[in-house]
Amino acid sequence: MTSLRETWEVLKAPVFWVIIAVLTAWAALGMWLEMRIGWPDRYGFHCQGKACWMSDLWHSPILLHGGYLGEYALFAWIWSMPAFLATFFIWSRRAKRGADHPPHDHPKF
């Protein structure tokens, strides 16, 4: 709970609530897509517990074989969080490197 309070203090109320709203909408979209197409039960596997996210990633290529727009959307939704996390990780590493190494003055042509 302290990290949530610290986040609130750093981001201030409006930005904090926008982030919460976006995350809630993202989760709701995923649940709606899963219910709409019957993921994962209709595709021959079941998952209960904490490792379902990894199971969803593993089995998600099945969604590309159906040809239904909802399946493509769910595939994109499932892979959006790893893509976001990888992008954030790369961005933060570059930002840290940039802070460690000040930019050089390059001659202008």
For residue 56, being part of any structural domain is answered with yes
Q: Is the pLDDT of residue 109 over 60?
A: no
Number of domains in the chain: 1
Q: How many CB atoms lie within 10 A of CB 37?
A: 18
For residue 87, being part of any structural domain is answered with yes
Q: Is the pLDDT of residue 83 over 90?
A: yes
- The pTM score is 0.73
Q: What single-letter DSSP state applies at residue 44?
A: T
For residue 78, being part of any structural domain is answered with yes
For residue 25, being part of any structural domain is answered with yes
For residue 32, being part of any structural domain is answered with yes
Q: How many CB atoms lie within 10 A of CB 71?
A: 20
For residue 29, being part of any structural domain is answered with yes
Structural domain of residue 42, as residue ranges? Answer: 2-99
For residue 51, being part of any structural domain is answered with yes
For residue 109, being part of any structural domain is answered with no
Comparing 22 with 93, the larger pLDDT belongs to 22
